[in-house]
Amino acid sequence: MEQKFLPLCREDMEARGWDQADFVYVIGDAYVDHPSFGHAIISRLLESRGYRVAILSQPDWKDDKSITVYGEPRLGFLVSAGNMDSMVNHYAVSGKRRAADAYTPGGVMGKRPDYAAVVYGNLIRRTYKHTPVILGGIEASLRRLAHYDYWSDRLKRSILLDSGADMISYGMGERSILEIAEALEAGISIQDLTYIEGTVVRTRSLDSVYDALVLPSFEAMQKDKTEYARSFYTQYCNTDPFSGKRLAEPYPGQIYVVQNPPAKPLTQMEMDDVYELPYRYTFHPSYQAKGGVPAIEEVRFSLTGSRGCFGGCSFCALTFHQGRIVQSRSKGSLLSEAKRMTKEQDFKGYIHDVGGPTANFRHPSCGKQKDSGVCPKKQCLFPKPCGNLRADHREYVDILRALRQLPGVKKVFIRSGIRFDYLLADSDPAFLRELCLHHVSGQLKVAPEHVSDAVLELMGKPKNQVYRQFVKEFAKMNRRLEKDQYLVPYLMSSHPGSSWKEAVELAEYCRDMGYMPEQVQDFYPTPSTLSTCMYYTGLDPRTMKPVYVPKNPHEKAMQRALIQYRNPANYDLVKEALLKAGRTDLIGFEKHCLIRPRKLSGEKTSVQRSPGNSKDKKRTDRKNIGRKTDDRRSTGRNGSGRKTDDRKSAGRNGSGSQTNARRSTDRNNAGQKYSRKKDSEKRTAKRRT
């Protein structure tokens, strides 16, 4: 029998013969029953344990009645803002509102509120005063304690307090949500559920909270950013499910927000069970008339093979959400899902991705992690690979080979990104060979992010020489295989630590690479990352040393433009940046220069005289007597009065382009030669006469 979607409206619930749902799941996304969507996993998992779950997708937050569609649930409300933080979903780093929302039917923007988890929580609480409300999803996870909010540019309280919810289930949530459901089913009050791993609760006393580390108070952090930096680093060092301590954050009025240690990672069997639940692998049919849900296209023919990441990038929130211990599905589970894909009508033979946060992480980084967890104050790959690192791609290669052999599969791509430093740490070149031979379609996207070692250190990334080594190995392997394939590097501008010096260094690298990146990520200070803490406090919380932070929007725009200096639209920003950096040596006609010299838009200029001997100057002066000078013609225009395009003028003379002065000289000299020629012809004609 075909599996049904979970109820999306009152009629769906009644059609199942239910008079009441156990849980009403309020989500900021459209309802997509696919394991790449958190609400699908949690709802199907609860269903598998016998609970009745109804989905309330994108309720109208301006209408209190929108939350009463199903009536009061028997056990409680679950709330998630969606697969993304609602503010990241709505706004670019520049603050400009995005035009579309891929997680809404038809890609329509505006179907969820800003700070959706807070708004939904209060919407529920206004109507249902005593019904348990449990927050989940990435927005709640990354805002579970006091956090810097980029969009309001201030420190915010725990989302638990602002939303009116009773509890947060943070992280991936499978273990904690089942334990919460079982406790509520047993009649335990949600106020008494203070002990569940992977949850955040509030209390008025620490008497029943054991072994908690007390963080700086919210008031102290508001007054002193140094206190916030210290608090954040304590949180950062307690994200491991084995060694992580219970944390308590004090608030005014004798309130404490208590974060219990993270839930234990899933075993491979448990991971397989989660991904083999009876999903429909598509959006609810009611969305078809609206154009479907765009986000499904990215994941429809992709396989999630793992979760968790020990990469340790400072700007990534995965440490706080999925943790550093890698958990993976079995080969059999992945093959089973791939076989299902091949039977879908729209499958064209291409599996778009086999990976996770990092595609080539398939197992914990070392043997001790399964029982003892990760090292709290050490990274597995940074600043260089740990001596205990187990760099081994054999299992991943075996899975990729098996997928390629499936009937109906033409090609298997790897699009979720690889860690090139981890690849280089593996002495066996088999994975690199297989990658180049079978899993790249001309271009491989990698993320060196920057070239300055000072910035890379703050990012938690390997030194630039490691990336350069990978570039060599990639090129060598492709030559051996007689493949014409290229690397497409992802680069990031205006990360903390990136001053003008580092920004120009990155631009020079792009010049030497002979490639203008189409995609540049301007650093986005999202909640609960090390880099965001640096951005807000101006300190590296690991060392408490000051860090330069480019915050001014115009400076950020200039740093971004430097990376794409070849784009004519960026000329003014690039020139201004080079002047500020004191790098006028990069403005000129030599090969190493980034841009040609010309005036900035709207900048007034004086008439440029032609260089030459005094006679030429006198002749030029005589020609100009009584004439009006047009500044616009003398600057940035060619002989025909049209604007000069630096790219078009390049190569017309020995230096690659012509200056205004040189063009003026050329025109004058040509006129003088022409005049002398005419005089000579007249004299010759007279003699003949």
Question: Which residue ranges make up the annotated binding site?
Answer: 309, 313, 316
The span from the first CA to the last CA of the chain, in angstroms, equals: 111
DSSP 329-379: --HHHHHHHHHHHHTSTT--SEE-EEESSSTT--S-SSTTHHHH---TT--
Alpha helices by DSSP H, 386-463: 394-404, 420-425, 430-438, 453-459
From CA 536, how far away is CA 224, in angstroms rounded? Answer: 11
The length of the chain is 689
From CA 186, how far away is CA 196, in angstroms rounded? Answer: 15
Inter-residue contact 433 to 481 (CB < 8 Å): yes
The packing angle between helices 571-581 and 500-513, to 10°, is: 130
Q: Which residues pair with 327 in a beta bridge?
A: 307
Q: To 5 degrees, how large is the angle CA 44–CA 27–CA 232? A: 100
From CA 361, how far away is CA 419, in angstroms rounded? Answer: 8
Inter-residue contact 101 to 72 (CB < 8 Å): no
Binding-site annotation, residues for [4Fe-4S] cluster: 309, 313, 316
From CA 333, how far away is CA 526, in angstroms rounded? Answer: 34
What residues contact residue 169 under an 8 Å CB cut-off, 6+ apart? 134, 135, 136, 140, 176, 177, 180, 198, 199
From CA 260, how far away is CA 243, in angstroms rounded? Answer: 12
Classify 71 as helix, strand or coil: coil
From CA 324, how far away is CA 309, in angstroms rounded? Answer: 5
Which structure tokens are listed for 149?
């909010």
Which structure tokens are listed for 466?
């490691």
